[in-house]
Amino acid sequence: MTSLTVLACVAMNCAAAVGQAQPQTAEAPSIAALRSLAYTGFQDGGSVTLVNGRYESAPFGPGQNTRRSVVLVRDYRLVGDLDGDGQDEAVTLLGENTGGSGTFNYVAVVAWRGGQAVNVATAALGDRVQVRHGRIANRRIVLDLVRAGSQDAACCPGELVTRSWELDSRGRLFEAGPAQQTGRLTPSVLAGVEWTLRWWDFDESARSDVGITLAVTGDRLAGRSGCNRYNASITPGRVPGALTIGPAAGTRIACPELQMNAERRFLAQLAGVRTFSFLAGELVLTWNTDAALGTMIFDPRGSAPR
């Protein structure tokens, strides 16, 4: 960008546009661009502009705390060429809440248009739909999802499906065929992947050098607890996503205090795990003990969930 262009932008108060200008490498829009962008295609037909990955409206009425919020979900980003022009687009996930217990989710496509990052298309995924895995293949967005089946309560979706979308000639998303049902949500869907702890909670990251992992084989859970190796039993609950983890057994190697502290914390929280779910491709274990409750969030390493 030339100095004259920058000066013109300053005069026109378009600093935000400068920050999202198309780079010379022509890469897909970055996470930073996705976090500060206007999005359309919501249920009400309107648009919102995210600031640092979030939009929040004014309260719905005097004296009310209820308001509409839209977030970029976990900085999710897929990259691929959807329209065949040789330029990669970025695909992200949005979550919308209007004050109720549910979150309505969307998949959104962002592309370079006239040198700016623009949300060119958005499609609805549904209420409380979980994204297990996503990819771009053959110019299609393909998402493996968990959604409520005909016999599921809204709180506890249990139907596994794969859905895919394409961009039409006008740049609009359309679903490429019916959803393909692939099974039910049970702990067995965690098998075939080693999961690595990345977050102790939604806003507390875990140190990567501690190395806490888990993997599921049959009715057993095993991995590294930070210092030692452990294993425990898994028992599915009565509703999708519910489970109980039995007492963990493991090796007893002494390690530096940093690792030992992380290990003690992990094993205590693991014993209290009551449910599992997926959020933008990450595994979320929700735990509850007499002292506290919270979540642990894991990233997949290895083959994709099936």
DSSP annotation string for 60-76: SSTT-----EEEEGGG-
Q: What is the DSSP string of 20-39?
A: TBPPTT-PPPPHHHHTS-EE
The predicted structure's pLDDT at residue 21: 56
pLDDT at 15: 38
Residue type, 86: G
- Please name each of the domains of the chain with its CATH number: 3-184 (no CATH), 187-302 (2.40.128.270)
Spatial separation of the C-alpha atoms in residues 278 and 104, rounded to whole Å: 15
* SS3 of residue 33 by DSSP: helix
Three-class SS state of 285: strand
Retrieve residue 213's tokens: 């992992």
**CA–CA distance from 181 to each of 147, 148, 153, 289 (Å)?**
10, 12, 18, 35
Rounded CA separation 291/61 (Å): 37
Per-residue confidence (pLDDT) for residue 102, from 0 to 100: 86
What pLDDT is attached to residue 3?
37
Give the residues of the chain that fall short of pLDDT 70. Answer: 1-25, 302-306
